[in-house]
């Protein structure tokens, strides 16, 4: 089983709509999680860290469920500029390597 | 905002040749990494570097690969004898290393092996 798994999509989202997707992880040793965003052929850019209590950053909400070993990302009021691949990323400890999921592609359409 | 910088942005090399990819991490960061992404595939970890030595490496990082921090600012990845399958985007990343601190990525070097 892959360490971090994501639905590759694409999720076709009307502009202004809400979209949510999950990521599952198999290694319970993973302690910290992040959502990164990647545009085509560009570097991963940090979108937000993910906390067990759930956290929100503007239109983005992330949630971590350690019991079920999944992480979620919700995007409200989708913008055309939200079109990208969203990468679910885990790490075991501070300073350790990142383990990436394959990414979920989101396409926001007018 | 400080950023990780990488050079060159695109490197074209003949198979069997040596290539050096360069990175300047964020100045107060302590942990440095190289990742690669083959076209259409996920980002894969290659190596991490801390306190002037390799702290972890993946199976991909075989004897053909080496890393160096030759001075206080640069962090390089060398591939000694390139293969066709080394063609990929190579990303450098750095972090301060504190709990929950994210890694910041450079904009990558596209390596094309002919």
pLDDT at A1: 66
Lowest mean pLDDT among A43-47, A49-53, A105-109, B14-18: A49-53
Cβ–Cβ under 8 Å, residues A35 and A73: yes
For the record, the structure tokens of B91 come out as 């990303």
How crowded is residue A68: how many other Cβ atoms within 10 Å of its Cβ?
Answer: 9
For residue A96, name the pLDDT band (cuts at 50, 70, 90).
confident
d(CA A21, CA A107): 13
Would you tell me which residues 44-63 of chain A have a C-beta closer than 8 angstroms to some C-beta of chain B?
A: 44-46, 49
**β pairing state of B109-113 and B10-13:** parallel
Interface check for A2 against chain B (CB to CB < 8 A): the answer is no
pLDDT at A3 over 90: no
Burial tier of A5 (Cβ tally within 10 Å: 0-12, 13-18, 19+): middle
Vertex A100 angle, CA A39 and A22, to 5°: 80
The tens digit of pLDDT for each residue in B31-47 reads 999 999 999 999 999 99
**What tens digit of pLDDT does each residue of A65-94 get?**
988 899 999 999 999 999 999 999 998 877
Query: In Å, how far from its chain's centre is CA B56?
Result: 13
**How near does any CA of chain B get to the CA of A26, in Å?**
17
Mutate to test the interface with B, among A44, A52, A88, A99 (most CBs of B within 10 A): A44
Average pLDDT over residues A90-106: 90
Q: What is the pLDDT of residue A7?
A: 95
pLDDT at B101: 81
pLDDT value at residue A6: 96
Mean pLDDT for B92-96 is 94
- The alpha-carbon gap from B14 to the nearest alpha carbon of chain A, in Å, equals 22
**Which residues in chain B have their CB less than 8 angstroms from residue A42's CB?**
107-108
d(CA A13, CA B108): 29
Q: Report how far apart, in Å, the C-alpha atoms of A102 and of each of A18, A54, A85, B36, B53 are.
A: 22, 23, 9, 13, 29
> For residue range A4-42, what is the model confidence (pLDDT) as tens digits?
999 999 999 999 999 999 999 987 667 789 999 999 989
The strands making up A60-65's β-sheet, listed across from edge to edge, are A4-6, A19-25, A70-75, A60-65, A55-57
Name which of B41, B55, B103, B112 to mutate to probe chain A: the one with the most chain A Cβ atoms within 10 A of its Cβ. Answer: B103
Tokens of B104: 């910041």
What pLDDT was estimated at residue A32? 87
């Amino acid at each position: 089983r892959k360490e971090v798994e994501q639905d590759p999509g694409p999720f076709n989202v009307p502009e202004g709509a809400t979209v949510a997707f999950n990521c599952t992880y198999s290694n319970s040793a993973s302690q910290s999680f992040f959502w990164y965003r990647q545009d085509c052929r560009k570097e991963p850019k940090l979108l937000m860290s993910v906390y067990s209590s759930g956290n929100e950053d503007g239109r983005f909400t992330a949630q971590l469920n350690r019991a079920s070993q999944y992480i979620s990302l919700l995007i409200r009021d989708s913008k055309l500029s939200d079109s990208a691949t969203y990468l679910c990323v885990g790490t075991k400890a501070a300073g350790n390597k990142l383990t990436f999921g394959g990414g979920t592609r989101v396409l926001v359409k007018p | 905002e400080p950023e990780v910088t990488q050079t060159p942005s695109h490197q074209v090399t003949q198979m069997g040749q040596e290539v050096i990819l360069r990175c300047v991490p964020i100045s107060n960061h302590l942990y440095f990494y190289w990742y690669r992404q083959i076209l259409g595939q996920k980002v894969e970890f290659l190596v991490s570097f801390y306190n002037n030595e390799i702290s972890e490496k993946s199976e991909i990082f075989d004897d053909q690969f080496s890393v160096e921090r030759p001075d206080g600012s640069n962090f390089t990845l060398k591939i000694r004898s390139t293969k066709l399958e080394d063609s990929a985007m190579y990303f450098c990343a750095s972090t301060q290393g504190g709990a929950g601190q994210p890694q910041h990525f450079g904009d990558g070097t596209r390596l094309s092996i002919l």
